[in-house]
Every structure is written in structure tokens, then in C-alpha cells.
């Protein structure tokens, strides 16, 4: 027996938003400042230091390398130039967002 369900447009829009959020997960570059042990790195996110797990890395990492971090895991080692460019873009996005928020509050 085949059952048909009526799905309203709000449900479809909500589902699309959820799927986009899942697909568009953000990994942020961070500089390795210390290798704590075989599975843990201390990384620097522009002055904010956090421990992350290195168990997903397929290559060896060294102090001063840059890694992409997502949900507490170093996912990949990245080129320093690419990492710095990405960090610059994230800074520009944050500056833009602050300007938009202050403009919205004024108007």
C-alpha cells in the first residue's frame, strides 16, 4: 500500500535550510603551536588557543604548520599562504557584518 503525504512549502524550505547548513560546514585554519601528545594539538586561532584532536590527519603535522579545524578536529594540513588568505577573508566578513549591524541599528 502506498501512502501519500501532503507536505507544505514551509516544511520544504526548512528542510532546504537544514541541508544547506549540513553541507556548508565551516573549517577554520589554525596554527599549530604545540604537539601535546600523539592525538592532541594546541592550535592558535588568531590569539585564541584551543586543544584539538589530530586523529583524522593523514599526514604528519609539525609546530608552525596550519591545519583546518572543524568541531574540534584537525581535518587537514594546509599551506600557510592559503591559511592566511582564508583568515583575512574571515576577518573581512566579520568587519562587514559589524558594519551592517551598526547601520541597521542607526536606521
Q: Render pLDDT for 50-106 as a digit per residue (tens, 0 to 9).
A: 999 999 999 999 999 999 999 899 999 999 999 999 888 888 888 877 777 666 666
Residue 76 makes CB contacts below 8 A (sequence gap 6+) with 27, 57, 58, 67, 68
Q: How confident is residue 27, by pLDDT bands cut at 50, 70 and 90?
A: confident
What pLDDT score was predicted for residue 99?
Answer: 77
End-to-end, the C-alpha distance of the chain in Å comes to: 57
pTM (2 decimals)?
A: 0.69
**Domain boundaries in the chain?**
26-106
CATH architecture assigned to 26-106: Roll (2.30)
Amino acid at each position: 500500500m502506498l501512502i501519500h503525504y501532503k507536505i507544505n512549502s514551509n516544511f520544504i524550505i526548512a528542510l532546504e535550510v537544514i541541508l544547506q547548513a549540513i553541507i556548508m560546514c565551516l573549517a577554520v585554519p589554525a596554527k599549530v603551536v604545540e604537539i601535546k601528545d600523539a592525538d592532541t594539538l594546541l592550535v592558535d586561532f588568531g590569539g585564541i588557543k584551543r586543544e584539538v584532536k589530530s586523529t583524522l590527519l593523514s599526514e604528519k603535522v609539525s609546530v608552525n604548520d596550519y591545519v583546518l579545524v572543524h568541531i574540534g578536529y584537525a581535518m587537514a594540513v594546509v599551506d600557510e599562504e592559503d591559511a592566511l588568505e582564508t583568515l583575512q577573508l574571515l576577518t573581512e566578513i566579520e568587519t562587514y557584518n559589524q558594519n551592517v549591524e551598526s547601520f541597521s541599528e542607526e536606521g
